[in-house]
């Protein structure tokens, strides 16, 4: 997909994330402080405003990601504002100048995002964060680089959701759920579900 299509894709993602607010709120009420859905809704509403402004004309895929990430980071708040902002901003810097998002570029973005988020917050797969969904998606994307983007995205989204569901058996080592210790077992990490939903809405856009 080209930059214009990618902008439309992110608009679809924003719409979907805003509509997912109740689900994400419910998850964060169980193992966090209950504000994840509100933060996601605030961030993606601000993103929607950016993407639909007549003066928004990103130079390329990287620029679109970078501007989107800055908007998310400055509006969403909480741990997830920094984390998801980093996913988009680091991807934007890494993909500067790219005019086409294909399956290989998607794999690059997820890989860059993972490294940047690890550097920022220290989380690794297994710590019960969004990293568990992102790592599962990145692994899948790495083996799907020859597929059409729509298929790669569908596989990634599925892997990410399985990764998010897998957080339910984990004890958290980051974020507020850390304070719950073993009591967090049996509940999914809200940020991991958000990560999977972002990919799911991207996949939905391409189908
Ligand atoms: P807060 O915890 O500040 O209320 P949110 O509720 O919006 O922020 O987001 C919580 C989510 O952020 C968690 O579910 C987790 O996935 C993610 N998160 C928190 N800390 C980290 C971290 N260090 N690395 C990656 N993700 C993190
Ligand atoms: Mg919270
Ligand atoms: Mg909070």
Ligand 1 atom with least separation from CA of 122: 23
Please tell me if the CB atom of residue 43 comes closer than 6 angstroms to any atom of ligand 1: no
- Mean pLDDT per 10-residue segment, the chain (207 residues): 98 98 97 96 98 98 98 96 98 98 98 98 97 98 98 98 98 91 94 98 98
* N- to C-terminal Cα separation, the chain: 12
pLDDT tens-digit profile of 116-143? 999 999 999 999 999 999 999 999 999 9
* pTM of the predicted model as reported, rounded to 2 decimal places: 0.98
* Residue 112 CA, ligand 2 centroid: distance in Å: 25
CA distance 201 to 154: 9
Ligand 1 atom with least separation from CA of 194: 16
β-bridge mates for residue 100, sequence order: 2
Nearest CA to ligand 1 atom 11: 191
CA distance 84 to 7: 17
Please tell me if the CB atom of residue 117 comes closer than 6 angstroms to any atom of ligand 1: yes
* Residue 64 CA, ligand 3 centroid: distance in Å: 27
* Residue 106 CA, ligand 2 centroid: distance in Å: 28
* Residue 176 CA, ligand 3 centroid: distance in Å: 8
Residue 55's contacts (CB-CB under 8 Å, 6 or more residues apart) are none
Please tell me if the CB atom of residue 174 comes closer than 6 angstroms to any atom of ligand 1: yes
Please tell me if the CB atom of residue 163 comes closer than 6 angstroms to any atom of ligand 1: no
Please tell me if the CB atom of residue 21 comes closer than 6 angstroms to any atom of ligand 1: no
pLDDT of residue 160: 99
Give me the half-sphere count of Cα atoms (radius 13 Å) on the Cβ side of residue 24. Answer: 25
Find out whether 160 and 137 touch, Cβ atoms under 8 Å. Answer: yes
pLDDT of residue 50: 98
């Amino acid at each position: 997909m080209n930059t214009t299509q990618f902008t439309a894709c992110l608009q679809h993602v924003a719409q979907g994330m805003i509509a997912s607010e109740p689900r994400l709120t419910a998850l964060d009420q169980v193992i966090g402080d209950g504000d994840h859905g509100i933060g996601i809704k605030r961030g993606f509403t601000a993103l929607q405003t950016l993407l639909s402004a007549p003066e928004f004309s990103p130079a390329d895929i990287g620029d679109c990601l970078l501007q989107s990430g800055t908007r998310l980071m400055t509006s969403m708040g909480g741990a997830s504002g920094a984390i998801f902002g980093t996913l988009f901003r680091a991807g934007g810097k890494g993909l500067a100048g790219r005019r086409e998002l294909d399956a290989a570029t998607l794999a690059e973005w997820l890989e860059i995002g993972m490294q940047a988020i690890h550097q920022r917050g220290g989380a690794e797969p297994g710590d019960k964060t969004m990293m568990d969904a992102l790592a599962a998606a990145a692994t899948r994307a790495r083996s799907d680089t020859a597929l059409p983007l729509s298929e790669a995205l569908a596989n990634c989204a599925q892997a990410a959701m399985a990764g998010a569901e897998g957080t339910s058996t984990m004890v958290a080592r980051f974020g507020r759920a850390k304070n719950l210790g073993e009591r967090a077992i049996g509940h999914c990490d809200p940020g991991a579900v958000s990560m999977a939903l972002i990919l799911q809405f991207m996949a939905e856009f391409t189908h």
